[in-house]
């Protein structure tokens, strides 16, 4: 039986939103690209790599922000998942390892290799990260520090646009921050028939009290697994 063509609202920030939209269309569905977050690089940031043995990235945005400011590509990279690892390789990093999980999984993976590291782990990331990687690493005996390269800001949707978007069959969420923005949108524009498909349990948690048709996440926080939920939970 042919799969039903669905309207899928993509909320992640650009340029990731367009990449996700292309994958959704490849599955035979309609993509509604309307990010709930916008990424803004911070100005006058200096990256000090003195004493740094490895970089740890928790998002592709972090990779891009670092790559824009530093020409260093030989240092070892630890990535939270496949998409972030792919972004690191595309940026020219040679040695990239992926945790294929969340911040805790990344910290655990790095912690298991702490005896290989001759220096600190630097986490280039956002002003408001989804998790405290530096603290998680230090708890595992890894010297770590953070450098803030960008911030994510909520995108305000016009009322008419929001009213149309909430009529989608499903909405894709890639971060808890986007879920918080969506919760506010749905408070003004209730959509009890909308299905929320989140990258992880932590991502959908801010919507726990929002009336929805479904609130699901894949067993692993990978975008491929997230997209598989579109037809599985239709």
| Helix or strand run (H / E) with residue 123 | strand 120-126
The pLDDT score that the predictor gives to residue 30 is 97
Structural domains in the chain plus CATH codes: 7-36+155-232 (3.40.50.10090), 40-152 (3.40.50.10090)
The pLDDT score that the predictor gives to residue 1 is 41
| Helix or strand run (H / E) with residue 147 | strand 144-154
In 10 A of CB 25, how many CB atoms?
12
Query: In whole numbers, what is the pLDDT of the chain averaged over residues?
Result: 92
pLDDT digits 0-9 by tens, 190-204: 999 999 999 888 889
Tokens representing 211? 């009336």
Q: For residue 175, give every residue at least 6 positions away whose Cβ sits within 8 Å of its Cβ, in sequence order, or none.
A: 12, 37, 130, 152, 199, 203
pLDDT digits 0-9 by tens, 71-120: 999 999 999 888 889 899 999 999 999 987 788 889 999 999 999 999 99
- Quickly tell me which residue has 């790599």 as its tokens: 49
Percent of the residues in the chain that have a pLDDT greater than 70, as a whole number: 98
Full-model pTM:
0.82
């Amino acid at each position: 039986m042919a799969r039903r063509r669905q309207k899928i609202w993509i909320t992640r920030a650009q340029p990731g939103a367009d990449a996700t939209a292309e994958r959704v269309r490849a599955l035979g569905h309609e993509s509604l690209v309307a990010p709930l977050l916008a990424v803004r690089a911070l100005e006058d940031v200096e990256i000090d790599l003195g004493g740094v043995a490895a970089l740890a990235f928790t998002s592709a945005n972090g990779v891009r922000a670092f790559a824009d400011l530093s020409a260093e590509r030989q240092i070892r990279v630890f990535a939270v998942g496949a998409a972030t690892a792919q972004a690191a390789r595309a940026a020219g990093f040679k040695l990239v390892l992926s945790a294929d999980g969340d911040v805790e999984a990344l910290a655990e993976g790095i912690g298991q290799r702490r005896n290989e590291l001759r220096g600190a782990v630097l986490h280039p990331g956002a002003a408001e990260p989804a998790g405290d990687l530096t603290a998680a690493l230090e708890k595992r005996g890894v010297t770590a520090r953070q450098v803030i390269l960008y911030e994510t800001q909520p995108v305000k949707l016009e009322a008419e646009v929001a009213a149309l978007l909430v009529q989608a069959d499903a909405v894709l969420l890639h971060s808890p921050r986007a879920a918080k923005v969506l919760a506010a949108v749905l408070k003004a524009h209730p959509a009890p028939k909308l299905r929320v498909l989140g990258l992880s349990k932590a991502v959908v948690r801010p919507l726990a009290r929002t009336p929805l048709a479904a609130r699901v996440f894949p067993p692993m926080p990978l975008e491929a697994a997230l997209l598989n939920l579109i037809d599985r939970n239709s």
